Amino acid sequence: MRTLANPYTGKPDRAFWKRAVSTRHYSQLSDLAKPIDGFLDARIATAGSCFAQHIGRYLRKNGLNYMDHEPAPEILSPKSADRLGYGVYSCRYGNIYTSRQLVQLFDEAFGKRKPVDGIWQKGERFYDALRPGIEPDGFVSPEAVQALRRFHLSKVRRMFRKLDIFVFTLGLTECWVSTRDGTAYPIAPGVIAGSYTPQDYEFVNLRHRDIMDDLIRFRAALKEINPQARILFTVSPVPLAATATDNHVLVATTYSKSVLRAVAGEMTDEFDDVHYFPSYEVITGQPTRHAFYEPDLRSVAAAGVAEVMRHLLPEDAVPQRPQKAKGKRRRLYADEADVGYEHCEEGLLAEAAGE
């Protein structure tokens, strides 16, 4: 048996900070992401917080088998379709910032729950409280909200049953929930629609054990209806726009991202069919010296998005094949890199607070 000087002897360069990080420009970093077998040919669906929108657009642009189960009506222009939340994710569910939202969406899609307080009102218009940003002008009636939500959930069911890889970007630990049944919302009531009353809504800052329990439960439920499904977790590098805690927003952001990153790592270690992609590390890591943020130190610059995607799909791995066309509908997203923008309800918090 060969005797080593110490347990680190013979480890590759990627295991040492000096060799892998401090002496290299960020463009020279490699081996950050572990390859996922069959990724290039898999049916891929995406969901999560705002940053996840970039992943879906990139996969579609590069001709991968990206799932869009709720495409825009052909009559809509690309700009209008994007404004209404079409083509942003694999279904039109808007941003899913927390693990609690994800579990509840799955349960509702498969008839295991129905939110008590699922419709918010603003003036004479009505909004789907679980995705209030998809119709900026609201609906004419509660019945219209319910009808479209039933249609939406049917598409969500089909997506979960058909996907091979589910890419989910964890974004927040903070959320507002209904005191009546625990329904978690993507935004606080009163920001887009509805009104805040302390007796009806409460603030919850999910802890590590809460998120871990949520994701273990989600994985088990997904495997029941789709045994071959795999999950790829990422963590959003976008800081909190505002915090409802008593902490400084910088401290609150560090807590949130640290917990999410820890859970993602533990899920990857625990289950062979769960993977992690380091978009968070690419943007926030020391090698980039925060060069990938816009001047507001929150929005991720285009160069940062490009660097993340370089690690997700190196150029030599991108399949050189045409995108699958489906008549006129395919043209709706042909220029999505130009018409697309980051839909982010959370970004409205400061504005709603009068900042």
pLDDT in tens, 29-65: 888 888 899 999 999 999 999 888 888 888 988 889 9
Q: 260 phi and psi, to 5 degrees?
A: -60, -40
In terms of residues, how long is the chain?
355
Q: What's the confidence (pLDDT) of residue 61?
A: 87
| 20 DSSP assignment | I
Centre a 10 Å sphere on the Cβ of residue 190 and count the other Cβ atoms it contains. Answer: 15
Q: What is the assigned CATH class of domain 45-114+152-186+204-348?
A: alpha beta
Q: Rounded to whole angstroms, how far apart are CA atoms 209 and 134?
A: 31
Centre a 10 Å sphere on the Cβ of residue 254 and count the other Cβ atoms it contains. Answer: 14
**In the chain, where the domains are located:** 45-114+152-186+204-348
Model confidence at 350: pLDDT above 90: no
Average of per-residue pLDDT values in the chain: 89
Q: 151 phi and psi, to 5 degrees?
A: -60, -45
Question: What global pTM score does this model have?
Answer: 0.90
Helices (H), ranges, 226-248: none
Pairing outcome for strands 125-128 and 274-276? unpaired
Q: Strand ranges (DSSP E) for 88-189? A: 119-122, 125-128, 165-170, 174-178, 184-185
Task: pLDDT band for 329, please (50, 70, 90 cuts).
Answer: very low
Which residues share a beta bridge with 202?
A: 177
Lowest mean pLDDT among 118-132, 136-150, 341-355: 341-355
Percent of residues, the chain, with pLDDT higher than 70: 88
Q: 153 phi and psi, to 5 degrees?
A: -65, -30
Lowest mean pLDDT among 73-87, 129-143, 195-209, 313-327: 313-327
Percent of residues, the chain, with pLDDT higher than 90: 72
Model confidence at 95: pLDDT above 90: yes
**Per residue in 254-298, pLDDT tens?**
999 999 999 999 999 999 999 999 999 999 998 988 899 999 999
Q: Rounded to whole angstroms, how far apart are CA atoms 173 and 153?
A: 24
Q: What is the dihedral of CA 3, 5, 11, 13, to 10 degrees?
A: -150
Q: Strand ranges (DSSP E) for the chain? A: 44-48, 119-122, 125-128, 165-170, 174-178, 184-185, 201-205, 230-235, 274-276
Q: What's the confidence (pLDDT) of residue 355?
A: 60
Task: Report how far Cα 324 is from the mean position of its chain's Cα atoms.
Answer: 24
